[in-house]
Amino acid sequence: MENLTAKRPERKARFFTDSHIEVEGLYEPRDDFDPSVRLGYPGQYPFTRGIHPNLYRGKLWTMRQYAGFGTAEESNVRYKYLLSQGTTGLSVAFDLPTQIGYDSDHPAAAGEVGRVGVAVSSIEDMRVLFDGIPLDRISTSMTINATAAVLMALYIAVARERGIAESKLTGTVQNDILKEYVARGTYIFPPRPSLRLVTDIMAYCRKHLPQWNTISISGYHIREAGANAIQELAFTFANAIAYVEAALERGLAVDDFAPRLAFFWGCHNHLFEEAAKFRAARRVWARIMKERFHAQDETSMMLRFHTQTAGCTLTAQQPENNVVRVTLQALAAVLGGTQSLHTNAMDEALALPGESSARVALRTQQIIAYESGVADVVDPLGGSYYVESLTDRLETEVWEYLRLIESMGGAIAAIEKQYFQREIAAEAYRYQREVEADERVIVGVNRFAGDRDVSPLVLKLDPALEAGRKKQLAELRKRRDSAKVENALRELTVAASGDTNLLPPLIAAVQCSATLGEIAGALREVWGEFREQP
């Protein structure tokens, strides 16, 4: 029988946010805080209160559920299902071989085909992936980095086949290679040529795809690797500065490309710190663009961002608890003014989300949007003594990091010196020690863990998937004009050896059915591969 007289656990005497900012018991007005100076109005510099004057009263955030698994056929079915259930934008997850430049039939792809995303090797896959989906009316985000230019070329090629003008395409390509060296590891080429691919996409889209977000500079993966909220902002903005400088070196004018820069943040469980983080982020980015890069167009100073609830906070134990975590995180993102949001499914600590759990994740956003009332008011947390204090503290800490990184020579130099990597590893270690010492409570893991787990239905991939993909690619190579492919790859390597924009030869290569792996292989011959130093 349960001991009803058991002593309640003592709460710690001092309280901290997830980023170790000490939290006071009560926040009151401050003599040094002038709301008219520090806050301004929504839609006005420095955009603390949001980049739009009417925020969600005018238009709700884009509900962009991240999805992709197995084959293009299976993922297409999932996309159509999500659209039928109220998703307002697509977000494509690619499998690991696609991310690192291997076709599904490459030996290095064995065991990974379709597992963490959809397998895409050729224009035939891209046609199937978006079959029946109106590319000129649906915004598409593609989470891809090292091979971003190839996937961008495939997307453009399919649009051309359908007679859709490139100027009508809307969406985002992640295209943030620097964080791969810091946090994820799905790089192929060394940093310098990788940066060239980033700026080639920027330059091409400025001319041909004016509505396309050419990069989504990602703090999400930095946070997933173990960074705290302060480090997430600081390291991401340091990378963003490097991208802006690279674009300027290519001869682009800041106001020609900066309005199409986008960011991608994670959102964790500490509701108030996360909401304050987004407010601080807008203020920091506005100052960087205005004071450092002398942008004149206010849209260049606006921080536009997508948010994803935090995968690393989900637990395999008592997975139904993850619904609550995701709800808190989504609420923080909305209170913080996100323009786009993905909510994780409760079973993602176990496997790719099944259809029912993906539906619950989407419904979470819809309930917040239509039932909670938080979308009815612009900046509902504005003026909160606590939130404004957190916002100021986060901003101060971020600037301190940025000054230190600048003294090292900027983001690329800091990455080469392993500074980002060491800082993230130290923070991740600190977090884990707190969990193991019971100083940080994870419900269902190190506290309240006695309940029986309720295991959801876990999505399982067809074991015949890999063999089927190999057969498809073999048939493609037989059907296509091999001479045209060889010539296209030759022209690509010549272009890669020079300094012309690589998007046109990439589009030409995919149009004649050169595969992603063949294209990446051709670029490897010119640029080599990156190997991290021990």
- Predicted confidence at residue 7, as pLDDT, reads 53
Work out the percent of the chain whose per-residue pLDDT is above 90: 84
* Residue 165, SS3 per DSSP: coil
Residue 375: partners with Cβ closer than 8 Å, 6 or more residues away: 55, 56, 57, 60, 334, 368, 369
Lowest mean pLDDT among 306-315, 371-380, 444-453: 444-453
User: Any idea what DSSP says for residue 447?
Assistant: B
pLDDT at 64 over 80: yes
Instruction: Give the pLDDT mean for 354-380.
Output: 95
Write the pLDDT tens digit of every residue in 265-282: 999 999 999 999 999 999
pLDDT above 80 for 377: yes
**Cβ–Cβ under 8 Å, residues 509 and 519:** yes
DSSP 500: S
- HSE, CB side, 13 Å, CA atoms: give it for residue 505: 24
Q: What is the pLDDT of residues 96-121, one digit of tens each?
A: 999 999 999 999 999 999 998 999 99
Q: In whole angstroms, what is the distance from residue 34 CA to residue 52 CA?
A: 22
C-alpha to C-alpha distance for 29 and 34, rounded to whole angstroms: 10
pTM of structure: 0.92
The rounded distance, in Å, linking the Cα atoms of 230 and 222 is: 11
Measured distance CA(344)–CA(13) in Å, rounded: 33
DSSP 344: -
What does each C-alpha distance from 290 to 176, 203, 230, 285, 338 come to in angstroms? Answer: 22, 21, 21, 9, 22
Q: How do residues 448-479 score in pLDDT, each as one tens digit?
A: 987 665 555 566 777 788 999 999 999 999 99
DSSP code of 182?
A: I
> Quick one: CA dihedral 447, 452, 456, 458, positive or negative?
positive
Burial of 363 (0-12, 13-18, 19+ CB in 10 A): middle
Helix axes 229-249, 419-436, angle to 10 degrees: 160
How does pLDDT run across 390-409, given as a tens digit for each residue?
999 999 999 999 999 999 99
pLDDT at 462: 78
Average of per-residue pLDDT across 42-71: 94
The rounded mean pLDDT for the chain is 93
For residue 66, give the 3-state DSSP assignment: strand
Q: Identify the burial level of 249 via C-beta atoms within 10 angstroms of its C-beta, where 0-12 means exposed, 13-18 middle and 19 or more buried.
A: exposed
Is the pLDDT confidence value at 521 over 80? yes
Answer yes or no: is pLDDT of 2 > 50.
Answer: no
1 pLDDT band, cuts 50/70/90, is very low
Burial 203-229 (b: 16+ CB within 10 A, else e): bbbbeebeebbbbbbbbbbbbbbbbbb
- What does the pLDDT average to over 212-220? 96
Q: Is the pLDDT of residue 353 over 70?
A: yes
Tokens coding 414:
């800091």
| Rounded Cα–Cα distance for residues 483 and 258 (Å) | 40
> What's the token pair of residue 327?
């709800």
pLDDT tens, residue by residue, 465-516? 899 999 999 999 999 999 999 999 999 999 999 999 999 999 999 999 999 9
Dist. CA 471–CA 197, nearest whole Å: 31
Omega of the bond leading into 353 within 30 degrees of 0 (cis): no
The residues pairing with 45 across neighbouring beta strands, listed in sequence order, are none
* Residues 6+ away with beta carbon under 8 Å from 481: 512, 513
The 3 state secondary structure assigned to 262-307 is EEEEEECCCHHHHHHHHHHHHHHHHHHHHHHCCCCCHHHHCCCEEE
Tell me what pLDDT residue 355 has.
Answer: 86
Strand duo 171-173 + 140-143: pairing: parallel
Task: Answer whether residue 189 shows pLDDT above 70.
Answer: yes
Average pLDDT over residues 424-451: 91
Per-residue pLDDT at 66: 86
What per-residue confidence (pLDDT) applies to 102? Answer: 97
If you average pLDDT over residues 361-388, what whole number do you get? 96
| Residue in 238, 203, 207, 242 with CA at minimum distance from that of residue 222 | 238
pLDDT at 81: 93
Quick one: tokens of 437? 């010492």
Looking at residue 35, what is its pLDDT? 64
